[in-house]
Amino acid sequence: MLMVNVAGATVIALIVWWFWLYKAGEVGRDNTGLVIVVANGTFKPSRIKLNANQATELHFLRKDASPCAEMLLFPDLDISESLPLNKPRTIRLPPLTKGEYQFHCQMKMYRGVLKVE
Amino acid sequence: MNESTGHGHQHHTMKAPDNSLAAIAVPSQQELMIEGAGCASCVTKIETALKAVPGVTSAQMNFAQRTVTVTGSVERQALIKAVESAGYNAKTIEADTHAEALEEREKAEWDYYKRLLLEMSIALLLGVPLMLYGIAGGSMAVSTDAERIAWLIVGLLTLGIMVFSGKHFYVGAWQSFRHHTANMNTLIALGTGTAWLYSMVVVLAPGIVPEMARHVYFEATAMIIGLINLGLALELKARGRTSQAIKRLIGLQAKTARVIRDDKEVDIAIEQVLLNDRVRARPGEQIPVDGIVVHGHTAIDESMLTGESMPVEKGEGATVAAGTLNKTGSIVFRATRVGKDTALAQIINLVKRAQNSKPPIGRLADVISGYFVPVVMIIAIISALMWLNFGPDPAVALAMVSATTVLIIACPCALGLATPMSVMVGVGKAAEAGVLIRNGEALQMASKITTMILDKTGTITLGSPRVTDIFMAGSGGEERALQLAASLESGSEHPLALALVESARARGLAPLQVTNFNAIAGHGVEGEADGKKLLFGNEKLMRDRGIACGSLVERAQLLAADAKTPMYFAVDNVISALIAVADPIKEDSVAAIKRLQRNGIRVVMLTGDNHATARAVATKVGITDFFAEVLPQQKTDKVVALQAQGEIVGMTGDGINDAPALAMAHVGFAIGTGTDVAIESADITLMRGSLHGLADAIAVSKATLRNIKQNFFGAFIYNMAGVPIAAGVLYPFFGLLLSPVVAGAAMALSSVTVVMNANRLRLFKALEH
């Protein structure tokens, strides 16, 4: 029984680490031509490094038919776009100051972040 | 004697909404579709050609989409010519994109819906008989070899269902897991996966499970997958209805336009209409693009955009807006805005954006949903451990059931959908009433307004002075006096003069030739016409010239007290008439202000006018709080002062003067007859001039906020009660433990309930008009 409890506690610790503490690697680009695929409940890539003070174009390609994947929001930038299915949609971002900018679907189940440096 | 009412009223319906639709800012960005660009090197060629066009600040081509985005204030035609001279074809693309995108989306949704129903049917085809077998007392236990083989077959069939009907849950769960995120898929995949794995262990290696716990749960896996697919399908259907308002707006876009080219009328696709094209609209046809009437006269139904049900008379020089319906006459108009620039296209964009923005009330849900799924996973593990440590036999089976049920019953969707669904319906509902809400924040603030500041001119009143009264000194004809006075004033640029000229024109009185015209600064004007000496001005002017005004002086005082400006008219040095000019109050201002006050909102009037006029207008419309002689820059101070008193301040105005005050207020309302600047700085735009739009906007926002709160309450209660019950908190007291199938049904229902509750908002009606 002790083993089972220890195993349970370990799984809980792993959940906390994997979903909250772990920082995933970032994809860096020169602010152009980055294609972000929206499929199976995720943005790929979801952590994107950008250069500050430079306009950016992100191309979102939605492959997920679920209505959850339809809306794309950048709340800090006041951008909301509906993504057509299987057709790239270009999002133009103004030059940004340093910081983190989140983007997500309407319900925040699909999530990503821009790290502007 | 009094000619005010009939004329003023008619003028209101004719003129007031006229500029409202044209009043949305023109963007400086345009998009063109490029044809014939076969290689990447064309990109530079096209961009260079476009950048050479005067006025273009940047041109950027997206080769993948064959589109080019041009920034700068330049006519589309010049751009198209530039591309053509570079050897390619360009056409506008925006006009139809909304409709096409909508069609595509509906098709995709329909396919997805059919797919969900098929997956649901297949899953339930196995799940329902299995469940009925269990309910009918069939043994779900595994004790004999025959049972093992039978259940093995069922287990493999269930695996087939998991692959066919539930693949999207498992793939989605895995993908998001790899990205360190978790969502609804994670919970469903874990729940159904656990039940299936446990059952397979019982079948394949019964030895490691205590005898009492050798029970299979294949029916749970199949049923949950079926029910959740059903829930998703129902949700999809209900979601479709939430976007009805935007669909209706998109449906207003015409597909073709009849343009006059080389003196011939041809029907062309709407995206080919160019700026300055002459467009014909026949009775019963939709206006295809924005323009200015150059020929003909008609009545146009603008209700679809403004909510104003009365058709608007349009003649030469009047503006027409895309999407409105030409009712009576055939007109030719010059296209002034096409494609993405039309008021309709911009309204659609504004509404779409607003529908997808979130009011602050939704932020809490965002924070929660970020932690929700992992927390539920942890609760599931803890509850399983509790059962294993302290539960009765068969503890292993009970632990597995409770963990599965916790995972399945938790519904992040209901929480996530609560705000967006209601905002979608609420913003759409407002747009139907001619109220454009910029974003979720404005929507939420509008529901809390305690004080509403109204600008006088153009907001409470029509904003354009007109002749309201004519009193004759003797027996002369009223029309003759008006004709002479208007002829005299036609040389003057004073706003009061304009009112006179307009009034004469409306009565069909032709202006006469005036000679020896002379403006007497600050007093009036004089001149000669039809062999008579004419003098028009204030009382002082008459006194200076020794003209006795008699009883008209008393009349004049009464008029002044009634917020009107009286002017004397003398012919050959004998007083002839007293003509009063005023900016009339909009016919429904009184009722609309009363409506606001009934809702407990303090209404305050601001005006640059003098005290007497301000008091007269305020009294007429039932406002006790007013500030007169307020300079434009002081309007902002008044807003700030009221905010300092703790009031949530709404500010309504129409002019450039009001822009800073609109921006400063908690919620800025721009009257649709106003300028671009005011609308740009406003949170809410009223497409028609009526102040009822204010009360409508507040009513819609209150109803929406109430709806969001109901959704939250439902979602919270559901999760707060559902998860502990699933974990088994009621078991020690009542022996109650939920079945995973019940949890699956409850989860499927929870988000459907939220979407349906949001849909109830569609039935909301603003109270009066």
- With beta carbons under 8 A apart, name residues in chain B contacting A75: 358
Residue of B nearest to A16 (CA): B374
Whether B677 shows a pLDDT value over 50: the answer reads no
Counting runs of H as helices and runs of E as strands, what totals does chain B give? Answer: 26, 26
Least trusted range by pLDDT, from B236-245, B259-268, B373-382, B615-624: B236-245
- Cα angle vertex A90, ends A88, A95, to 5°? 155
- With beta carbons under 8 A apart, name residues in chain B contacting A78: 353, 357, 439
Q: Tell me whether residues A109 and B105 touch, CB distance under 8 A.
A: no
Spell out the long-range contacts of B56-65 with Cβ–Cβ below 8 A and sequence spacing 24 or more: B61/B34, B61/B37, B62/A90, B63/B37, B64/A59, B64/A88, B65/A88, B65/A90
User: Hey, what are B694's tokens?
Assistant: 């204010």
Whether B604 shows a pLDDT value over 90: the answer reads yes
Residue of A nearest to B351 (CA): A80
How far is Cα B450 from Cα B599, in angstroms, rounded to an integer?
A: 9
Among candidates B183, B239, B356 on the partner chain, residue whose Cβ is nearest the Cβ of A109: B183
Q: Tell me whether residues B374 and A16 touch, CB distance under 8 A.
A: yes
Predicted confidence at residue B13, as pLDDT, reads 34
Which amino acid type is present at position B474?
A: G
CB contact, 8 Å: B374 with chain A? Answer: yes
Across B420-452, b (16+ Cβ under 10 Å) vs e yields: bbbbbbbbbbbbbbbbbbbbbbbbbbbbebebb
Whether B17 shows a pLDDT value over 60: the answer reads no
User: Hey, what are B650's tokens?
Assistant: 């709404």
How far is Cα B487 from Cα B509, in angstroms, rounded to an integer?
A: 9
| 3-state secondary structure (DSSP) of residue A89 | strand
Among candidate residues A41, A114, A35, the one with its CA nearest the CA of residue A75: A114
- With beta carbons under 8 A apart, name residues in chain A contacting B382: 8, 12
pLDDT band for position B88 (50/70/90)? Answer: confident
pLDDT band for position B6 (50/70/90)? Answer: very low
Among candidates A12, A24, A40 on the partner chain, residue whose Cβ is nearest the Cβ of B172: A40
- With beta carbons under 8 A apart, name residues in chain B contacting A90: 62, 65
A65 CA to chain B: closest CA distance, Å? 6
ipTM > 0.90 for the complex: no
Please compute the mean of the pLDDT values over residues B102-123 and round it to a whole number. Answer: 88
Q: Tell me whether residues B168 and A106 touch, CB distance under 8 A.
A: no
CB contact, 8 Å: B115 with chain A? Answer: yes
How far is Cα B358 from Cα B374, in angstroms, rounded to an integer?
A: 24
pLDDT band for position B412 (50/70/90)? Answer: confident
Predicted confidence at residue B208, as pLDDT, reads 84
Whether B222 shows a pLDDT value over 90: the answer reads yes
A26 CA to chain B: closest CA distance, Å? 11
Counting runs of H as helices and runs of E as strands, what totals does chain A give? Answer: 1, 10
User: Hey, what are A26's tokens?
Assistant: 């970032």
Pick B123 or B108 by higher pLDDT: B123
At a CB cut-off of 8 Å and minimum separation 6, what does B583 contact? B457, B461, B462, B463, B464, B465, B466
B132 CA to chain A: closest CA distance, Å? 31
| Dihedral Cα B482, B488, B491, B495, nearest 10 deg | -50
Please compute the mean of the pLDDT values over residues B577-592 and round it to a whole number. Answer: 90
CA atoms within a 13 Å half-sphere pointing along the CA-CB vector of B629: 3
Predicted confidence at residue A25, as pLDDT, reads 66
Strand order across the beta sheet in which B89-92 lies: B58-62, B67-71, B29-35, B89-92
Q: Tell me whether residues A5 and B389 touch, CB distance under 8 A.
A: yes
User: Hey, what are B606's tokens?
Assistant: 């601001």
User: Hey, what are B707's tokens?
Assistant: 């709806």
Average pLDDT score over chain B: 84
Among candidates A5, A15, A43 on the partner chain, residue whose Cβ is nearest the Cβ of B374: A15
Segment B360-372, tens digit of pLDDT:
888 777 778 778 8
CB contact, 8 Å: B650 with chain A? Answer: no
Predicted confidence at residue B188, as pLDDT, reads 92
Predicted confidence at residue B673, as pLDDT, reads 59
Predicted confidence at residue B40, as pLDDT, reads 63
Q: What whole-number percentage of chain B has pLDDT above 90?
A: 32
Q: Tell me whether residues B369 and A70 touch, CB distance under 8 A.
A: no
Whether B1 shows a pLDDT value over 70: the answer reads no
Predicted confidence at residue B768, as pLDDT, reads 55
Burial level of B45, CB count in 10 A (0-12/13-18/19+)?
A: middle
Segment B733-752, tens digit of pLDDT:
888 888 899 998 988 888 88
CB contact, 8 Å: B389 with chain A? Answer: yes
Residues found in chain B = 769
- Most A CBs within 10 Å, among B228, B348, B385, B402, to test the A interface: B385
Residues of B carrying an active site annotation: 455
Contact, B319 vs B333, CB < 8 A?
no
Among candidates A1, A12, A22 on the partner chain, residue whose Cβ is nearest the Cβ of B378: A12
How far is Cα B119 from Cα B85, in angstroms, rounded to an integer?
A: 54
Residue of B nearest to A46 (CA): B179
Q: Tell me whether residues B356 and A11 touch, CB distance under 8 A.
A: no
Q: Tell me whether residues A80 and B357 touch, CB distance under 8 A.
A: yes
Segment B129-145, tens digit of pLDDT:
999 998 888 788 888 88
Please compute the mean of the pLDDT values over residues B22-32 and round it to a whole number. Answer: 52
CA distances from B756 to A65, B210, B242, B411, B741 (A): 21, 45, 9, 16, 23
- With beta carbons under 8 A apart, name residues in chain B contacting A102: none
Please compute the mean of the pLDDT values over residues A73-83 and round it to a whole number. Answer: 82
- Most A CBs within 10 Å, among B31, B180, B239, to test the A interface: B180
In B194-253, the residues whose Cβ lies within 8 Å of chain A are 232, 235-236, 239
Among candidates B175, B236, B420 on the partner chain, residue whose Cβ is nearest the Cβ of A107: B420
Among candidates B180, B373, B412 on the partner chain, residue whose Cβ is nearest the Cβ of A22: B180
Q: What whole-number percentage of chain A has pLDDT above 70?
A: 91
User: Hey, what are B693's tokens?
Assistant: 């739009």
DSSP 8-state assignment for residue B2: B
* Inter-chain CB pairs, A–B, below 8 Å: 122
- With beta carbons under 8 A apart, name residues in chain A contacting B412: 107, 109
Whether B20 shows a pLDDT value over 50: the answer reads no
| Dihedral Cα B489, B490, B491, B495, nearest 10 deg | 70
Scanning B324-393, the segments in alpha helix (DSSP H) are 343-355, 363-390
Scanning chain A, the segments in alpha helix (DSSP H) are 2-16
Predicted confidence at residue B22, as pLDDT, reads 39
How far is Cα B433 from Cα A116, in angstroms, rounded to an integer?
A: 42
Contact, B257 vs B268, CB < 8 A?
yes
Whether B94 shows a pLDDT value over 70: the answer reads no
B109 CA to chain A: closest CA distance, Å? 7
B51 CA to chain A: closest CA distance, Å? 18
Predicted confidence at residue B165, as pLDDT, reads 95
Pick B307 or B161 by higher pLDDT: B161
Predicted confidence at residue B656, as pLDDT, reads 64
Segment B287-338, tens digit of pLDDT:
999 999 999 999 998 888 877 777 888 888 888 988 899 988 899 999 988 8
Strands B58-62 and B290-295, by their bridges, are unpaired
Burial level of B333, CB count in 10 A (0-12/13-18/19+)?
A: buried
How far is Cα B232 from Cα B749, in angstroms, rounded to an integer?
A: 9
Q: Tell me whether residues B412 and A109 touch, CB distance under 8 A.
A: yes
Q: Tell me whether residues A41 and B183 touch, CB distance under 8 A.
A: yes
Burial level of B552, CB count in 10 A (0-12/13-18/19+)?
A: buried
Predicted confidence at residue A30, as pLDDT, reads 64
DSSP percent split of chain A into helix, strand, coil, nearest 5? 20, 40, 35
- With beta carbons under 8 A apart, name residues in chain A contacting B370: 108, 111
How far is Cα B259 from Cα B272, in angstroms, rounded to an integer?
A: 10
Least trusted range by pLDDT, from B45-54, B127-136, B385-394, B722-731: B45-54
B379 CA to chain A: closest CA distance, Å? 9
Among candidates A1, A41, A106 on the partner chain, residue whose Cβ is nearest the Cβ of B420: A106
Residue of B nearest to A42 (CA): B176
Segment A86-114, tens digit of pLDDT:
888 888 888 888 888 889 887 777 888 88
Among candidates B104, B356, B388 on the partner chain, residue whose Cβ is nearest the Cβ of A84: B104
Q: Tell me whether residues A46 and B109 touch, CB distance under 8 A.
A: no
CB contact, 8 Å: B356 with chain A? Answer: yes
Whether B7 shows a pLDDT value over 80: the answer reads no
The dihedrals phi and psi of B656, each to the nearest 5 degrees, come to -60, -35
B719 CA to chain A: closest CA distance, Å? 17
Residue of A nearest to B370 (CA): A108
How far is Cα B681 from Cα B704, in angstroms, rounded to an integer?
A: 23
Pick A23 or B714 by higher pLDDT: B714
At a CB cut-off of 8 Å and minimum separation 6, what does B376 contact? B187, B406, B407, B410, B723
Strand order across the beta sheet in which B684-686 lies: B435-437, B684-686, B667-671, B649-653, B451-455, B602-606, B625-627
Q: Tell me whether residues A70 and B358 touch, CB distance under 8 A.
A: no
The dihedrals phi and psi of B59, each to the nearest 5 degrees, come to -140, 125
Q: Tell me whether residues B104 and A85 touch, CB distance under 8 A.
A: yes
- With beta carbons under 8 A apart, name residues in chain A contacting B353: 78, 80
- With beta carbons under 8 A apart, name residues in chain A contacting B62: 90
CA dihedral (B139, B141, B147, B149) positive or negative: positive
Q: Token pair 């939430």 is at which residue?
A: B242
Please compute the mean of the pLDDT values over residues A43-63 and round it to a whole number. Answer: 85
- Cα angle vertex A52, ends A47, A57, to 5°? 65
Whether A63 shows a pLDDT value over 80: the answer reads yes
Please compute the mean of the pLDDT values over residues B427-454 and round it to a whole number. Answer: 92
Please compute the mean of the pLDDT values over residues B569-594 and round it to a whole number. Answer: 90
Q: Tell me whether residues B105 and A39 touch, CB distance under 8 A.
A: no
CA dihedral (B126, B128, B131, B136) positive or negative: negative
Q: Is the peptide bond before A45 cis (omega within 30 degrees of 0)?
A: yes
Whether B218 shows a pLDDT value over 70: the answer reads yes
